[in-house]
Amino acid sequence: MTLWDFAVAFYDQPGVAPACLGLQDRCDADVVGLMFAAWTGFELGVRMTPEDFAQARRHVQAWRDHVVIPLRQVRREMKGKALSSFHPSSSPLRDKLKALELEAEKLQLEALEGWAATRFPGNAAQASATLGLDNMGAFLQEQMNMTEYGAQSAISRELVDGLRRLEVGASKPI
């Protein structure tokens, strides 16, 4: 499964979208990076190291900083009270920005997938939801300097359940 297909399927699991957006809003978590971390364990069977996360982040940092985040900031500003009522036609423009932000995130995921293809030989026999969850915890620790307990606590039940449901649906052993 491609990283994009994984991200869409995982995000569509009940409770996952609000959990991801909550991490993004409360902790400034990079949800694209979190999806990548989960995918490398779930699909590739790779246990990510802090150096892996740092290299992956460097690979997409300029794109994220100069394209994804500014699009998100403008879209969110337009949702605020001061701009949401500016003009009746501002809502369709905000929807277009949201679509552009999603396209920019898709390109970021594709870049990460390409990076992973050159970095990891893959070990699909070891791929599992458990390894995906471990990578998500390690990513949060590395990205936000969380303790192991803090990172594991940030991974909500919805994220755990969503990845487990995706695993069962993909006919992989739990």
The C-alpha atoms of residue 173 and residue 128 are separated, in whole angstroms, by 8
Give me the mean pLDDT over the 137-143 stretch: 85
Tell me the pLDDT of the chain averaged across its residues. Answer: 88
Q: What is the mean pLDDT of residues 10-18?
A: 94
Mean of pLDDT values over 119-138: 85
> Does residue 88 register a pLDDT over 90?
no
In terms of average pLDDT, the best of 17-31, 56-70, 148-162 is 56-70
pLDDT of residue 115: 97
Q: How far is Cα 90 from Cα 13, in angstroms, rounded to an integer?
A: 30
In whole angstroms, give the CA distance from residue 163 to residue 40. Answer: 13
Q: pLDDT at position 147, please?
A: 65
Tell me the CA distances in angstroms from 159 to 51, 75, 86, 132, 133, one per residue in order: 24, 25, 37, 11, 8
Q: Vertex 168, ends 50 and 141: CA angle to 5°?
A: 20
Find out whether 47 and 41 touch, Cβ atoms under 8 Å: yes
Query: What is the distance between the alpha carbons of residues 87 and 79, in angstroms, rounded to a whole number?
Result: 12
Poorest-pLDDT segment among 1-15, 34-48, 55-69, 125-139: 125-139
* pLDDT band, residue 174 (cuts 50/70/90): very low
The whole-number average pLDDT for the span 161-165 is: 91
Q: Are 163 and 130 within 8 A, CB to CB?
A: no
Please report, as a single letter, which amino acid is at residue 114: G
Q: What is the pLDDT of residue 143?
A: 79
**Of 13-27, 31-45, 48-62, 82-96, minimum mean pLDDT range:** 82-96
- With beta carbons less than 8 A apart as the criterion, state whether 110 and 104 touch: no
* pLDDT at position 171: 42
3-class SS letters over 126-161: HCCHHHHHHHHHHHHHHHHCCCHHHHHHHCCHHHHH
Cβ neighbors of 151 (< 8 A, separation 6 or more) are: 137, 138, 139, 140, 141, 144
Tell me the pLDDT band of 152, cut-offs 50, 70 and 90.
Answer: low
